[in-house]
Protein backbone atom coordinates (compact mmCIF):
# COMPACT_ATOMS: atom_id res chain seq x y z
CA UNK A 1 0.00 0.00 0.00
CA UNK A 2 1.28 3.46 -0.92
CA UNK A 3 0.19 6.57 0.99
CA UNK A 4 0.77 10.23 0.17
CA UNK A 5 0.93 12.24 3.39
CA UNK A 6 0.34 15.97 3.08
CA UNK A 7 1.22 18.57 5.72
CA UNK A 8 -0.78 21.57 4.54
CA UNK A 9 0.62 25.04 5.11
CA UNK A 10 -0.01 28.56 3.91
CA UNK A 11 3.53 29.06 2.62
CA UNK A 12 5.01 25.56 2.72
CA UNK A 13 3.09 22.34 2.10
CA UNK A 14 5.07 19.21 2.84
CA UNK A 15 4.50 15.88 1.13
CA UNK A 16 5.76 12.39 1.74
CA UNK A 17 5.13 9.07 0.03
CA UNK A 18 5.49 5.97 2.17
CA UNK A 19 4.91 2.40 1.11
CA UNK A 20 4.12 -0.60 3.26
CA UNK A 21 5.57 -3.51 1.31
CA UNK A 22 4.48 -7.14 1.33
CA UNK A 23 6.93 -7.85 4.15
CA UNK A 24 5.19 -5.19 6.29
CA UNK A 25 8.24 -2.91 6.06
CA UNK A 26 7.85 0.85 5.71
CA UNK A 27 9.72 2.38 2.80
CA UNK A 28 10.14 6.04 1.89
CA UNK A 29 9.43 6.60 -1.80
CA UNK A 30 9.69 10.39 -2.03
CA UNK A 31 9.31 13.55 0.02
CA UNK A 32 9.67 17.27 -0.31
CA UNK A 33 7.77 20.51 -0.14
CA UNK A 34 5.81 22.99 -2.16
CA UNK A 35 7.07 26.38 -1.05
CA UNK A 36 5.53 29.54 -2.42
CA UNK A 37 6.21 33.20 -1.77
CA UNK A 38 3.78 34.95 0.53
CA UNK A 39 3.93 37.75 -2.05
CA UNK A 40 2.15 35.48 -4.53
CA UNK A 41 -1.62 36.07 -4.46
CA UNK A 42 -3.49 33.33 -2.54
CA UNK A 43 -5.49 32.09 -5.57
CA UNK A 44 -2.22 31.59 -7.47
CA UNK A 45 -0.65 29.75 -4.51
CA UNK A 46 -3.69 27.47 -4.26
CA UNK A 47 -3.52 26.74 -7.99
CA UNK A 48 0.20 25.92 -7.74
CA UNK A 49 -0.37 23.59 -4.77
CA UNK A 50 -3.21 21.87 -6.63
CA UNK A 51 -1.09 21.44 -9.76
CA UNK A 52 1.94 20.06 -7.90
CA UNK A 53 -0.11 17.67 -5.75
CA UNK A 54 -1.98 16.48 -8.86
CA UNK A 55 1.35 15.84 -10.57
CA UNK A 56 2.54 13.78 -7.57
CA UNK A 57 -0.66 11.74 -7.54
CA UNK A 58 -0.47 11.13 -11.30
CA UNK A 59 3.20 10.12 -11.06
CA UNK A 60 2.97 7.78 -8.04
CA UNK A 61 -0.68 6.63 -8.00
CA UNK A 62 -0.98 6.39 -4.20
CA UNK A 63 -3.68 4.13 -2.78
CA UNK A 64 -4.59 6.77 -0.21
CA UNK A 65 -3.92 10.38 0.73
CA UNK A 66 -3.61 11.35 4.41
CA UNK A 67 -3.93 14.90 5.71
CA UNK A 68 -3.60 16.43 9.15
CA UNK A 69 -6.76 17.96 10.61
CA UNK A 70 -6.73 21.66 11.48
CA UNK A 71 -5.86 21.88 15.15
CA UNK A 72 -4.53 25.35 15.88
CA UNK A 73 -4.00 28.62 14.14
CA UNK A 74 -2.55 31.87 15.37
CA UNK A 75 -5.63 33.73 14.15
CA UNK A 76 -8.82 33.24 12.20
CA UNK A 77 -7.29 34.47 8.96
CA UNK A 78 -4.51 31.86 9.20
CA UNK A 79 -7.05 29.13 9.96
CA UNK A 80 -9.09 30.07 6.91
CA UNK A 81 -6.03 30.03 4.63
CA UNK A 82 -4.99 26.66 6.04
CA UNK A 83 -8.50 25.35 5.41
CA UNK A 84 -8.27 26.51 1.81
CA UNK A 85 -4.99 24.65 1.30
CA UNK A 86 -6.52 21.52 2.87
CA UNK A 87 -9.50 21.86 0.53
CA UNK A 88 -7.22 22.07 -2.50
CA UNK A 89 -5.31 18.97 -1.33
CA UNK A 90 -8.55 17.04 -0.84
CA UNK A 91 -9.81 18.17 -4.24
CA UNK A 92 -6.62 17.00 -5.96
CA UNK A 93 -6.99 13.56 -4.35
CA UNK A 94 -10.71 13.35 -5.00
CA UNK A 95 -10.39 14.26 -8.68
CA UNK A 96 -7.88 11.41 -9.01
CA UNK A 97 -10.30 9.02 -7.27
CA UNK A 98 -7.97 8.62 -4.30
CA UNK A 99 -9.37 8.05 -0.81
CA UNK A 100 -8.60 10.82 1.74
CA UNK A 101 -8.08 10.17 5.46
CA UNK A 102 -7.72 12.89 8.08
CA UNK A 103 -5.88 12.59 11.38
CA UNK A 104 -5.62 14.71 14.49
CA UNK A 105 -2.08 15.78 15.47
CA UNK A 106 -2.26 13.76 18.71
CA UNK A 107 -3.10 10.61 16.76
CA UNK A 108 -0.23 11.17 14.31
CA UNK A 109 2.27 11.64 17.14
CA UNK A 110 0.91 8.57 18.95
CA UNK A 111 1.24 6.42 15.83
CA UNK A 112 4.81 7.53 15.16
CA UNK A 113 6.29 8.15 18.61
CA UNK A 114 3.88 6.34 20.92
CA UNK A 115 3.05 9.55 22.79
CA UNK A 116 0.47 12.06 21.57
CA UNK A 117 2.19 15.06 23.11
CA UNK A 118 5.63 14.33 21.66
CA UNK A 119 7.76 17.26 20.57
CA UNK A 120 8.24 17.98 16.87
CA UNK A 121 11.90 16.89 17.05
CA UNK A 122 10.91 13.52 18.57
CA UNK A 123 8.54 12.91 15.66
CA UNK A 124 11.27 13.80 13.15
CA UNK A 125 13.76 11.43 14.79
CA UNK A 126 11.23 8.58 14.78
CA UNK A 127 10.34 9.22 11.12
CA UNK A 128 14.04 8.91 10.26
CA UNK A 129 14.29 5.72 12.30
CA UNK A 130 11.08 4.05 11.05
CA UNK A 131 11.97 4.76 7.42
CA UNK A 132 15.67 3.90 7.93
CA UNK A 133 16.81 7.24 6.49
CA UNK A 134 20.34 8.54 6.94
CA UNK A 135 19.14 12.00 7.98
CA UNK A 136 16.01 13.67 9.29
CA UNK A 137 13.98 14.69 6.24
CA UNK A 138 14.06 18.40 5.48
CA UNK A 139 12.23 20.69 5.50
CA UNK A 140 10.32 19.88 8.71
CA UNK A 141 7.04 20.02 6.75
CA UNK A 142 8.23 17.04 4.68
CA UNK A 143 9.08 15.08 7.85
CA UNK A 144 5.59 15.90 9.16
CA UNK A 145 4.03 14.69 5.90
CA UNK A 146 5.95 11.41 6.18
CA UNK A 147 4.67 11.06 9.77
CA UNK A 148 1.09 11.56 8.53
CA UNK A 149 1.60 8.84 5.91
CA UNK A 150 3.08 6.48 8.52
CA UNK A 151 0.09 7.14 10.80
CA UNK A 152 -2.30 6.25 7.99
CA UNK A 153 -0.43 3.04 7.18
CA UNK A 154 -0.41 2.00 10.85
CA UNK A 155 -4.12 2.79 11.13
CA UNK A 156 -5.06 0.96 7.91
CA UNK A 157 -2.99 -2.07 8.95
CA UNK A 158 -4.62 -2.19 12.39
CA UNK A 159 -8.11 -1.90 10.91
CA UNK A 160 -7.47 -4.64 8.34
CA UNK A 161 -6.18 -6.96 11.08
CA UNK A 162 -9.30 -6.29 13.16
CA UNK A 163 -11.48 -7.20 10.18
CA UNK A 164 -9.56 -10.47 9.71
CA UNK A 165 -10.02 -11.37 13.41
CA UNK A 166 -13.79 -10.89 13.22
Q: Tell me what pLDDT residue 11 has.
A: 87
Query: Could you give the percent of the chain with pLDDT greater than 90?
Result: 78
* Catalytic site residue from 39, 44, 68, 102: 68
Q: What is the pLDDT of residues 4-48, one digit of tens each?
A: 999 999 889 999 999 999 888 999 999 999 999 989 999 999 999
- Assign domain 2-165 to its CATH superfamily: Ribonuclease H-like superfamily/Ribonuclease H (3.30.420.10)
Q: Which of 67, 145, 56, 131 is nearest to 99 (CA)?
A: 67
Active site residue 102: no
9 contacts 46 by C-beta, under 8 angstroms:
no
Question: Whole-structure pTM over 0.85, yes or no?
Answer: yes
Question: Of 62, 89, 92, whose CA–CA distance to 152 is shortest?
Answer: 62
pLDDT confidence of residue 165: 44
- 131 DSSP assignment: T
141 counts as catalytic: yes
Which is the catalytic residue, given 19, 39, 141, 144?
141
Distance CA 130, CA 113 (A): 10
Q: What is the pLDDT of residues 96-144, one digit of tens each?
A: 999 999 999 999 999 999 998 899 999 999 999 999 999 999 999 999 9
**Active-site entry in 7, 33, 144, 152:** 7
Amino acid sequence: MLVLGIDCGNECTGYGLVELDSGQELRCIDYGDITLSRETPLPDRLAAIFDQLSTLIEKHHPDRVAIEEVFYAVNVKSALKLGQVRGVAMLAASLHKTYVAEYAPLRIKSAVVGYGRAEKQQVQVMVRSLLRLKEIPQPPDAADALAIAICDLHTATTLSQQILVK
